[in-house]
Amino acid sequence: MKRNFSILLTVAWLSITTAAQSQSHQFVTVVAEPDHSDWTYARGETAKFTAYAIKENCRMVGVKISYTYGPEKMPTTGSDSVVTGSDGMAHFSVPCGKEPGFVSVNVKVSEDGRDYTSLTNIAISPYAIKPTTTMPEDFEQFWGDAVAKAREVPMQPTLRCSESESNDRVDVYYLRIQTSVKGNYTYGVLTVPKGGGRKPAILRLPGAAVRSFSGPNELAYQGFVVLEVGVHGIPVDQSPEIYRQLEAGALRNYTTIGIDNRDSYYYKRAILGCVRAVDYLCTRDDVDTTRIATYGGSQGGMLSIMTSALSNRVSALLAYFPAFCDVEGYYHGRGGGWPHLFRDKAEPNIEARLQTIRYYDTVNFARTLRVPGFYAWGYNDRTCCPTSTFSAYNVISAPKELQVGRDTGHWLYGWQVENAISWLKKKFQME
């Protein structure tokens, strides 16, 4: 019996439902409606907005709506307020600027001592956005050498079957493989559909956190062998307290650990572990090695792009609002990608850190991609801002498809996820 696809969406992206509900159940909803339905403008154009506030399904008359605007993730450049008329609506205009990018328009209504806000990010020629980061001349050699050296290390895989998580349709295993150096491990959960024959596989990559993983992964019910891995080199089946202690202690601010040197930076081991996880999938008799995809959002989207760029064994990728895109944007006076480094130009050893980060910027991996990819994000993402994600998307020369849900933040609509899986199934000739 085919499982309801909504279960897959819930498991894969819990934030979709949570974010959508939190927006739709505000007591007062304040809206800034742009006059272009695609939220997209030409350079130098003026955007006209209709503003209104809804309380108990009615537009509020005579209410003051405050608004601010400015380049995305940067200080505001203008502010004012308008009052809604007898029809419950008010109007204002915002200059778009002369450079490709995004302008953030924030509106606010105060009611009974509480503030209600919303964001509308309008795009200015988004497909003309260029990254600020540059690609080191030895970028590909650096990573080629690192992957080759990692592959000299025997994986020594160990599998432990989870009887409690397996069922009549899938088997679940906890996996450990040795990755880039002796004694350095990548841990994950493997879900394998029952039945003979080789199957397409997905490497499921995690968003930013220090947490556990468990099975079964619902994508396996769609016919995929799914390996979901962690990136911290620690087992993925420990108690929540252990992860809380690590996140507050040894792994606190892990995105900056070792950042002063490209060889010691935290993500080097993590990225190589993802590449080796693909290598492991290729050793399995139940995996069709011509149909392996990477899949993830945020940090997982970043790792999906990076792994696909570094491993010639990946044949497709899915990346949602990828992190680490054009990270040095702030240094150049515009919004940068998560984790929002280099806001302070006076931070210690900044030049060395900038040199390091260019070997890890998603943009530079995107420049080398050779496999088709499906991408999705929204204009209102405050975490992985679209100025940064378009910076990466626009340099990709491989076949690509982008689906934008303009009013989404750091989450997706169900149709975006459904379309992504459908796209992958067609690529893998499963439909």
Catalytic site residues? 298, 381, 410
Specify the length of the chain in residues: 431
C-alpha to C-alpha distance for 377 and 42, rounded to whole angstroms = 21
CB 212 within 8 A of CB 240: yes
Question: Bridge partners of 21?
Answer: none
Does a cis peptide bond (omega within 30 degrees of 0) precede residue 34? no
Which residues sit opposite 318 in a β-bridge?
295, 374
Cis omega (within 30 of 0) for bond into 339:
yes
- List, in order, residues 6 or more apart from 219 with CB less than 8 Å away: 8, 12, 191, 202, 204, 226, 295, 421
Q: How many CB atoms lie within 10 A of CB 67?
A: 22
Contacts of 163 (CB under 8 A, 6+ apart): none
Contact 314, 292 (CB under 8 A): yes
**Strand, coil or helix: 88:** coil
CB atoms within 10 A of CB 272: 24
